[in-house]
């Protein structure tokens, strides 16, 4: 087990969801690995995995997990209820899980969310499962074509910009890179697939920095490295081959990363999670019985009305984000077909998804950053009273 965190003595934040202050939250470098390390310290289920109130030994299943071994390798010792529920639309995994049951957990879960069979999330998931049988496959293929086109565009423009030392082409390369970086988000929650690695071309990984800081003794946690951390630098080889000057090539490469970073930053300002009107932990919360996990997802997301109509824009600017949260393994091209089910259930349960225009979301981003006081009014109460029906 990892050593108890000594760095997070300053815990200024009080969760209104009743969640623990996460270990390693104050660690100077924020990466998925560090967050996971903190979660292992907090959950501490040792060699087991927790799902709802059961503890399971999945060690013999890790390598044969159809979604890829990483998910289970990374999460051993933790509560994976939310990940398990959100990543499987069909019922097979739930049935299979029983094979690995070890014992009941003796402590309550840290997360307050529930997945009641007649609650919002499980109801909408059942309906989506049925609807998927009739949804066409071509939009998913179109997403693949878009993503491949963007990556190819980036690589070709990067090499041409170096060959001709042309900063106009480098600008285009940067834009392609920014777009493909966001499009890769379509693939990262799914079973292991090569398009999930398109993200690495952005070189946006703090692992290198983390590793360097650890090597010189500035941070205590060792950062793991993965082969794909190096993927983004491969383009330097043909760039150098065609240009011949290391200095010119490096300058060009950093310029491309800068353009991609600016593009990513602008889209990030528009993305779905910062707005003064949505719920953030610390604000007045729904009462516990209303904390269906799906409802909570909608409480904490703002979507943009002006991009939903175009698959390319949805794919390259984190569009249809509420539905993406509910069904992260579905291609972004399929999400638009789920709106009739989604809207019907929002109406039935009385859940509101906040929808704004691009411009309003941009303004909301900064208003949220300026907000210093928690909201004192909880989200609007649900229409459909939750029952005590057990989770499965
Ligand atoms: C951290 C927890 C887990 C994550 C993030 C995860 C993720 C995934 C992903 C991304 C897929 C591919 C889904 C798709 O392409 O539609 C998948 C498939 C699958 N997973 Fe998991 N998984 C987790 C835990 C488990 C557990 C505990 C079991 C059962 C013991 C399981 C059984 C399966 C099965 C049978 C499939 C293939 C069938 C299906 O998608 O319904 N998974 N998983």
What pLDDT does 12 receive?
Answer: 63
- Domain encompassing residue 188: 138-205+222-268
How far does Cα 253 stand from its chain's mean position?
27
Task: Give the domain-ending residue among 252, 268, 284.
Answer: 268
Among 48-52, 251-255, 267-271, 323-327, the range scoring the smallest mean pLDDT is 267-271
Q: Does the Cβ of 80 fall within 6 Å of ligand 1?
A: yes
The enclosing domain of 77 has a CATH number of 3.10.120.10
Which of 154, 239, 159, 231 shows the shortest CA–CA distance to 196? 231
Q: Answer whether 66 contacts ligand 1 (Cβ < 6 A).
A: yes
Q: What is the pTM of this model?
A: 0.91
More confidently predicted of 12 and 180: 180
Q: Is 24 helix (H, G, I), strand (E, B) or coil?
A: coil
Tell me whether residue 301 is in a domain. no
Residue 26 lies in a domain: yes
**Domain for residue 283, yes or no?**
no
| Ligand 1 pocket mutation pick from 39, 50, 63, 66 by most atoms within 8 angstroms of CB | 66
Asked whether 61 lines ligand 1 (CB < 6 A), one says yes
Domain boundary among 95, 112, 129: 112
Closest C-alpha residue for ligand 1 atom 2? 84
Ligand 1 midpoint to CA 90 (Å)? 10
**CB of 294 closer than 8 Å to CB of 117:** no
Cα of 321 to ligand 1 centre, how many Å? 21
Distance 379 CA to ligand 1 centre (A): 32
pLDDT of residue 204: 78
The C-alpha angle 18, 20, 26, rounded to 5 degrees, equals 135
The response to whether residue 90 sits with its C-beta less than 6 Å from ligand 1 reads yes
Tell me, yes or no, whether 88 lies in a domain.
yes
Ligand 1 pocket member 84 (CB < 6 A): yes
Whether 146 shows a pLDDT value over 70: the answer reads yes
Distance CA 366, CA 352 (A): 22
- Last residue of one domain, picked from the residues 243, 268, 293: 268
């Amino acid at each position: 087990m990892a050593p108890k965190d000594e760095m997070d003595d300053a815990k200024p934040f009080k969760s209104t969801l009743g969640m623990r202050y996460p270990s390693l939250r104050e660690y100077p470098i924020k990466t998925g690995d560090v967050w996971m390390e903190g979660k292992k310290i907090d959950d501490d289920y040792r060699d087991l995995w927790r799902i709802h109130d059961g503890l399971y030994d999945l060690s013999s299943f890790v390598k044969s997990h159809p979604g890829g071994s990483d998910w289970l390798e990374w999460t051993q010792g933790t509560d994976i209820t939310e990940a398990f529920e959100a990543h499987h639309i069909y019922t097979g995994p739930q049935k299979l899980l029983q094979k690995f049951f070890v014992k009941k957990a003796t402590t309550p879960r840290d997360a307050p969310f529930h997945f009641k069979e007649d609650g919002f999330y499980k109801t909408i998931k059942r309906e989506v499962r049925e609807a998927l049988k009739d949804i066409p496959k071509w939009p998913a293929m179109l997403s693949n074509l878009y993503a491949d086109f963007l990556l190819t565009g980036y690589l070709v423009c990067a090499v041409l910009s170096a060959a001709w030392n042309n900063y106009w082409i480098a600008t285009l390369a940067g834009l392609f890179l920014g777009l493909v970086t966001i499009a890769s988000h379509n693939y990262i929650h799914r079973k292991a697939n090569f398009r999930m690695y398109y993200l690495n071309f952005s070189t946006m990984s703090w692992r290198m920095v983390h590793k360097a800081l650890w090597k010189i003794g500035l941070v205590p946690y060792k950062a793991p490295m993965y082969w794909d951390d190096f993927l983004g630098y491969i383009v330097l080889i043909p760039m150098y081959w065609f240009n011949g000057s290391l200095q010119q090539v490096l300058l060009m490469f950093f310029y491309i990363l800068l353009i991609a970073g600016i593009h990513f930053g602008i889209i990030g300002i528009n993305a779905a999670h910062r707005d003064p009107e949505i719920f953030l932990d610390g604000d007045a919360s729904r009462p516990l019985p209303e904390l269906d996990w799906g409802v909570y997802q909608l409480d904490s997301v703002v979507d943009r009305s002006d991009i939903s109509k175009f698959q390319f824009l949805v794919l390259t600017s984190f569009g249809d984000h509420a539905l993406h949260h509910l069904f992260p393994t579905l291609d972004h091209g399929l999400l638009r077909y789920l709106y009739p089910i989604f809207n019907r259930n929002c109406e039935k349960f009385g859940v509101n998804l906040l929808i704004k225009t691009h411009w309003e979301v941009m303004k909301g981003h900064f208003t949220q950053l300026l907000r210093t006081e928690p909201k004192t009014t909880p989200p609007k109460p649900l229409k459909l009273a939750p029952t005590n029906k057990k989770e499965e």
